[in-house]
C-alpha cells in the first residue's frame, strides 16, 4: 500500500475540512452573514451611485486596482505551482531534512512526489480562480463604460444595468475569495510533508483562522454598523 491508513485519513480530513468550510461560507453568503457577504450591499450601493455621475474616472480606477490585485495573486499562483514542481528535482535533499525532524513519520520518494503534485494541483486551482476573477473584473470595467448617462438613472433600464454591474462585481469577488482560500489551505497542506498528524493539526488551524476572520467581531461589527 502506497500510503498508510493514517495518511489517507489525514488527507480525507484535510479535504473534508476544506469542503465543510466552503459549505459554511456558501451558506453565509446566502444568509448575508460573514465578512464577504456583508460587502455585497456595498457593491450594490457603489453600482447605484455609479448611475448618478457622468464622470466615472474614479470608478474605472477602482476596477483597475481590483484587477491589479487579482493579477498579482494569479501570477503568484503560477510561480508557486512552478516552485512546487521544482521541488521534485530536489526530492532527496528535502527528504533528508524532513526525516531529521523529531515528529516526522518518514516519507518515501514516491510519497513525496505525490504530495508535491497534490500541492501543485492546489496552486493551479487557485490560479484558475484568480484568472476568472480577473476576467470578471474586465467585464465590470466594460459595464461601467456602458453605463447609461446620469439623466436616465431613474429609468428601469438604468437600474437593471446597475444591478448587473453589482452582480458581476460580486461574482468576481466570490472567485477571488475562493482563490485566496486555496492559498490558505495550501499552507495547511504543507503539514502533510511532515506527517499525517501534522496535516490534521494544520487543517484545523487554517479553518479556525479563516472562520475567525470571516465571522470575527471587529470587521463584521464595523460593516454591520454601516448597514443598520
Question: pLDDT-based confidence at 226, cuts 50/70/90?
Answer: very low
Q: Calculate the dihedral angle through the C-alpha atoms of 85, 207, 104, 111, rounding to the nearest 10 degrees.
A: -40
With 0-12 / 13-18 / 19 or more C-beta atoms within 10 angstroms meaning exposed / middle / buried, residue 176 is: buried
* Higher pLDDT among residues 145 and 30, named by residue: 145
CA 47, CA 165: separation in Å to the nearest integer? 6
- Is residue 96's pLDDT more than 90? no
What integer pLDDT is reported at residue 160 of this predicted model?
A: 92
pLDDT at 214 > cutoff 80: no
> Average of pLDDT values for 43-53?
89
Residue 225: all three cell numbers together: 454598523
Residue-number span of the structural domain to which 73 is assigned? 5-227
Mean pLDDT computed over 69-74:
95
The pLDDT of residue 16 is: 96
Look at the chain and report how many structural domains it folds into.
1
pLDDT of residue 203: 95
More confident residue, 99 or 181: 181
CA 104 to CA 81: how far, in whole Å? Answer: 24
- Indicate the Cα dihedral angle 56, 47, 26, 119, nearest 10°: -10
Amino acid at each position: 500500500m502506497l500510503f498508510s491508513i493514517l495518511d489517507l485519513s489525514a488527507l480525507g480530513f484535510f479535504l473534508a475540512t476544506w469542503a465543510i468550510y466552503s459549505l459554511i461560507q456558501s451558506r453565509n453568503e446566502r444568509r448575508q452573514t460573514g465578512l464577504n457577504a456583508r460587502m455585497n450591499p456595498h457593491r450594490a450601493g457603489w453600482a447605484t451611485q455609479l448611475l448618478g455621475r457622468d464622470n466615472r474616472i474614479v470608478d474605472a480606477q477602482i476596477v483597475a486596482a481590483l484587477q491589479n490585485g487579482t493579477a498579482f495573486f494569479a501570477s503568484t499562483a503560477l510561480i508557486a505551482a512552478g516552485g512546487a514542481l521544482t521541488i521534485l528535482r530536489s526530492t532527496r535533499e528535502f527528504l533528508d531534512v524532513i526525516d531529521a525532524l523529531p515528529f516526522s513519520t518518514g516519507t518515501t520518494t514516491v510519497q513525496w512526489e505525490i504530495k508535491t503534485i497534490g500541492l501543485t494541483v492546489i496552486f493551479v486551482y487557485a490560479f484558475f480562480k484568480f484568472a476568472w476573477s480577473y476576467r470578471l473584473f474586465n467585464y465590470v470595467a466594460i459595464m461601467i463604460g456602458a453605463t447609461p448617462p446620469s439623466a436616465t438613472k431613474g429609468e428601469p433600464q438604468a437600474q437593471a444595468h446597475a444591478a448587473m454591474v453589482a452582480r458581476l462585481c460580486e461574482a468576481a469577488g466570490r472567485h477571488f475569495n475562493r482563490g485566496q482560500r486555496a492559498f490558505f489551505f495550501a499552507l495547511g497542506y504543507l503539514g502533510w510533508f511532515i506527517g499525517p498528524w501534522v496535516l490534521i493539526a494544520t487543517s484545523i488551524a487554517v479553518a479556525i483562522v479563516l472562520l475567525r476572520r470571516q465571522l470575527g467581531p471587529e470587521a463584521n461589527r464595523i460593516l454591520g454598523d454601516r448597514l443598520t
